[in-house]
Amino acid sequence: MHQRPRSTFHTWKDLLLPGEQDTRVFLPRVTEEQDTAKTSSFSLPVWDPERLPPSVHLFNDLPFRMQGQLGIILDQHLSDKAERTSFTNCLGDSLTPDEVVQDMRSRCMSSTFNLSYEAGTRTIAENILYPVHVIYEALTGNFLDVHGQEHTSNSSVITDRIFRFGDGKKILWGEKSPRAFDRFIGELMAQMRDRSSVELCSEPVPTTYRGYKAILGKVRVCLCQTSPI
């Protein structure tokens, strides 16, 4: 079994921009009970190509850009709160950054991660959501509104999770097993290594989409959904 990381996270900024600190989370039980990796197909109940993604391209450095922007936001708008060593949440509990990350590690240590089974991925996702909730509340003073297994008003799309800020949907969360992700999204990324765009859902007639087209089509349709969920 791997030895648990020993880094100490003193501030909320440590968790978001850890630098050289060890942020690894170890999973003691990794299995693969199924050999197949699949995702469901997708067809629009009412044909509206304006709600489908016509193309996609790859930003290789997007995570680093996001990290840089996060640092700017923290320094310009949340520097005092980001450096606090603890805060009291809406339940009256006092939490420190180190307690939060160690709690997440403990939760993950009790989980079994199946490389081919989406439910195993869902368990890990729920553990990761815990520090996201805590850090958001510590920095903003607001409780993060996250819904699971929500669908559009016509039930054409079901998302695994939705992050809401105010009245809008800001983050759509899809949970795929590593095997399914490697098979479908890996295939898409291989086509974009030269930074060229890949045409997606541009058919002029109703079509059933499969593979990565189905995955991205569902995300786009859900994002465009304006009726109440």
Q: Which pLDDT value is given to residue 227?
A: 41
Assess contact for 222 and 152: CB atoms under 8 A: yes
Assess contact for 159 and 173: CB atoms under 8 A: yes
Model's pTM, two decimal places? 0.76
pLDDT digit string (tens) for the chain, length 229 residues:
445 556 788 999 988 998 888 888 887 777 776 656 677 888 888 888 888 888 888 887 888 899 999 999 999 999 999 999 999 988 888 999 999 988 888 888 877 777 666 666 667 777 888 888 899 999 988 887 777 776 666 666 777 777 877 777 677 777 777 788 888 888 888 888 777 788 888 888 999 999 889 888 888 877 765 444 3
Closest CA to 131 of 165, 159, 108, 154: 108
Assess contact for 18 and 35: CB atoms under 8 A: no
Q: Which pLDDT value is given to residue 146?
A: 78
DSSP conformational letter for 101: H
Q: Which pLDDT value is given to residue 226?
A: 42
Q: Which pLDDT value is given to residue 156?
A: 67
Helix and strand counts by DSSP (H, E) for the chain: 7, 9
Is the dihedral angle over the CA atoms 96, 100, 102, 103 positive or is it negative? positive
Q: Which pLDDT value is given to residue 108?
A: 81
Token pair 């060593």 is found at 85
Q: Which pLDDT value is given to residue 79?
A: 93
Assess contact for 173 and 163: CB atoms under 8 A: yes
